[in-house]
Structure 1
Amino acid sequence: MDFSCTEAQTDLSGLARKILGDRATNERLREVERAPDRFDRALWTQLARAEVLSAALPSSVGGGGFGLLEQCSVLIEIGRAVAPVPYLASITTAAAALAQFGTPEQQRRWAVPAANGELVLTAALTEENNPDPHRPACRAQRLDGEWVLTGTKTTVPAGPVADLVLVPASTPEGPRVFLVEAAQLALQRQRIVDSDSEAFFDLDGVRLGDDQVLGPDSAVLDWLINRATVGGCAHQVGVLARALELTSEYARERVQFGRPIGSFQAVAQRLADAFIDVEAVRLTLWQAAWRVEEGLPCATEVATAKFWAAEAGHRVAHTAVHVHGGVGIDLDHPLHRYFVAAKRNEFFLGGAAAQLGRLGDALVD
């Protein structure tokens, strides 16, 4: 059995790493973080011109014909650079869903421009006081030949810069996903842990036509959640791997009591534990991603990957800060970005406790 990455994954991740390494510098990130939204549009355009955005999308939307595994390879590099680009929301989640379930007109209008970096898409998968994204509290009802939405969505990634939002809502026939233009939504910015802004959307009174429904049935929502969750785990792999590298380098260079602190047993043990955690996140990610891509039953594998991304992510992020000491809480030091990025990923679509609950339900069933 061959568990190595494909040639496409290696080439695509290498290209992404080069572009991100050149553009996502500490100085550039500081500049972007002073803006209302943590989005480097120039970097986004450069990734689009290099076909990093389109390569891992189906050919039906002008992509290179690759899929989720290649997207995960790109997301790992974006995580390593903590790059301020909405690849997970726009490409892995929304554009890929349109390529999979959209009509030719929906793909032409939204997915193709997103693959070219001309539009930003996102999906509104979370709601206040609703821990289960598979059962949206938002509702859609038929009225005078249109769909009328009610409810709210919270912490929508890339919401303030998105042109189109995929909005799941409950209907009498089950959950459906609707395509809502950002201009139709009342937006409130929500500042989050890594200085980015997400969106709170009030859906009450939004009216949609039948051409704004994505896919034929409720399976679209499960597909979206699985892809978004796996993509978040991939981003976390990159964040944690680079945070551990920075911490190991610091432990070799920082001298205390006449010795590098990495030579102290307690520090070495914490770094060893962090290495095991990072590899656990990586291995469970690839298992879940492969099963999702192959269309195999994957609920427990996705929950397992997200558990490790959350639980191990918490441990590694705190280890990185503790080993760095006072430098670790300096907002001007690059490590701080990895800490807050790991915390954001930890709770994206449910933290460790939520994933254990899902795994427990699966064992009971």
Structure 2
Amino acid sequence: MDFSLTEAQRDLAGLAGRILGDWAERDGDQRTEPFDDPFDATLWEQLAQAGLLDAALPESVGGGGFGLLEQCSVLIELGRVAAPVPYLPSITGAASAIAEFGTGLHAERWALPVTRGQRTMAIALADEGDDPGFTARRAGGSWRVSGTQTAVLHGAHADAFACEVATDEGDALMLVDRGHSGLRVTGQHAVDGTGAALVELDEAEATDDALLGEPGSGAARWLRLRATVGLCALQLGIVSRALEMTGEYARKREQFGEVIGSFQAVRQRLAEAYLDVEAVRLTLWQAAWRLSEGLPADEEVATAKFWAAQAGHRVAHTAVHIHGGVGIDMDYPLHRYFVAAKRTEFALGGATAQLRALGTHLAEAPA
């Protein structure tokens, strides 16, 4: 296993960091309400113009020939500014699944408009351990899809959805445009204001062309693993920046004539938070590397998401506690990292769900 970053990872992270740093200084850190502008279309277009939406995708969808490792490097930078853009569901999720399981027609219709910054996509996946929210049955030469999925990340403003569906022939992924007559999308107020949605399908008709791969091909599981790793990368950016902000604050804030960073209890909490951040970093890259190499990674992904959830919870609360009252002041940017960490903690299954999944994998592994 090689933990060194590739040249492409460093270049993409550097480019993303410069663009997002400028955005945070100009707009991001001025956001005083987490529900303001859950999707920044201008920033999304800027990322597309810089080549960040297609660079880390396979060439089959017009990308630069890279993949998950490069996407994780971009996601870390997005997390560091809690950027309100749907890179995870659109690029790491839907577009990557289309590149892996779709056809040229899928790429032209759904993926290419996303990589050009013209559209966005969301992924409607059940949490780890839960059954798919949608079911599909054959009806003549097409499918009828029904069901519900709540809290779909960035679903409120998505132009299309990649939905995990259960069929008699196995789980599958189906692509559904927002304008479909059988689709209803209702915006939901999530804690981080990223435009979550309740997605409902009522006997929605879908042809075989809407499927990514055949039912039972493993496309849904493939997408879940990569989306989960993407969440871990996002969480790494969130908690690492929150820790940096907290360390900077602890070096400046004075109480009883001393900076609070000199207090033993504060130093201990900062040290524990540092260990948590490094645990997220280590387990993220282990899981991402195995997936990128085509190796079995169910246990590694569950481990990474457990740390992203558990450490995310602890670091977010440590950051707020050390900041004191300013930590929950809406005029100070830390609140955006707190709510982003909490949303990422539970997306696609929290710590308990990941421990159950890990236990199942270990129990079923041959001795």
User: Is TM > 0.5 for Structure 1 vs Structure 2?
Assistant: yes
**Which residue of the partner structure matches residue 243 of structure 1?**
242
**Is residue 32–residue 38 contact of structure 1 (8 Å, CA) maintained in 2?**
no
The answer to whether 1:200 aligns with 2:198 is yes
| CA–CA distance in structure 2, aligned partners of residues 220 and 228 of structure 1 | 12
Cα 1:112–1:299 change in 2 (3 A) is same
The answer to whether 1:212 aligns with 2:210 is yes
Distance apart, 1:137 and its partner CA: 4.2
**Which residue of the partner structure matches residue 277 of structure 1?**
276
Higher normalized helix content (fraction of residues): 1
**Which residue of the partner structure matches residue 144 of structure 1?**
140
The letter for the 2-side match of 1:157 is L
Distance apart, 1:360 and its partner CA: 1.3
Cα 1:186–1:30 change in 2 (3 A) is farther
Cα 1:202–1:77 change in 2 (3 A) is same
The answer to whether 1:157 aligns with 2:153 is yes
Distance apart, 1:196 and its partner CA: 2.5
Distance apart, 1:28 and its partner CA: 4.4
Cα 1:187–1:239 change in 2 (3 A) is same
Distance apart, 1:57 and its partner CA: 0.3
| CA–CA distance in structure 1, aligned partners of residues 114 and 278 of structure 2 | 32
State the identity as a percent: 58
**Which residue of the partner structure matches residue 23 of structure 2?**
23
Gaps of 5+ in 2: none
Counterparts in 2 of 1:161-310, with a 5 A limit?
161-184=157-180, 185-218=183-216, 219-310=218-309
**Is residue 236–residue 345 contact of structure 1 (8 Å, CA) maintained in 2?**
yes
Please say which of residues 45-54 and 2-11 is displaced more in the overlay: 2-11
Counterparts in 2 of 1:85-96, with a 5 A limit?
85-96=85-96
**Is residue 12–residue 73 contact of structure 2 (8 Å, CA) maintained in 1?**
yes
Distance apart, 1:61 and its partner CA: 1.3
Question: 3-state SS of the aligned residue for 1:201?
Answer: strand
**Which residue of the partner structure matches residue 355 of structure 1?**
354
**Is residue 26–residue 334 contact of structure 1 (8 Å, CA) maintained in 2?**
no
| CA–CA distance in structure 1, aligned partners of residues 243 and 26 of structure 2 | 18
CA RMSD after TM alignment: 1.6
The letter for the 1-side match of 2:129 is D
**Bigger relative contact order (CA 8 A; separation at least 6):** 2
The answer to whether 1:14 aligns with 2:4 is no
Question: 3-state SS of the aligned residue for 1:57?
Answer: coil
Cα 1:145–1:154 change in 2 (3 A) is same
The letter for the 2-side match of 1:271 is L
TM-score scaled by structure 1?
A: 0.95
Distance apart, 1:110 and its partner CA: 1.1
The letter for the 2-side match of 1:141 is R
**Is residue 125–residue 133 contact of structure 2 (8 Å, CA) maintained in 1?**
no
Cα 1:245–1:181 change in 2 (3 A) is same
Question: 3-state SS of the aligned residue for 1:322?
Answer: helix
| CA–CA distance in structure 2, aligned partners of residues 337 and 19 of structure 1 | 19
| CA–CA distance in structure 2, aligned partners of residues 71 and 223 of structure 1 | 16
Please say which of residues 32-41 and 184-193 is displaced more in the overlay: 32-41
Cα 1:8–1:115 change in 2 (3 A) is same
| CA–CA distance in structure 1, aligned partners of residues 23 and 277 of structure 2 | 25
**Is residue 134–residue 165 contact of structure 2 (8 Å, CA) maintained in 1?**
yes
Cα 1:92–1:171 change in 2 (3 A) is same
Cα 1:33–1:355 change in 2 (3 A) is same
| CA–CA distance in structure 2, aligned partners of residues 31 and 242 of structure 1 | 17
Distance apart, 1:329 and its partner CA: 1.2
Moved over 2 A (4+): 24-37, 130-133
Distance apart, 1:60 and its partner CA: 1.3
Counterparts in 2 of 1:19-98, with a 5 A limit?
19-25=19-25, 27-28=27-28, 30=30, 37-98=37-98
Cα 1:114–1:33 change in 2 (3 A) is farther
Cα 1:30–1:160 change in 2 (3 A) is farther
**Which residue of the partner structure matches residue 110 of structure 1?**
110
| CA–CA distance in structure 2, aligned partners of residues 25 and 159 of structure 1 | 27
The answer to whether 1:346 aligns with 2:342 is no
| CA–CA distance in structure 2, aligned partners of residues 198 and 137 of structure 1 | 16
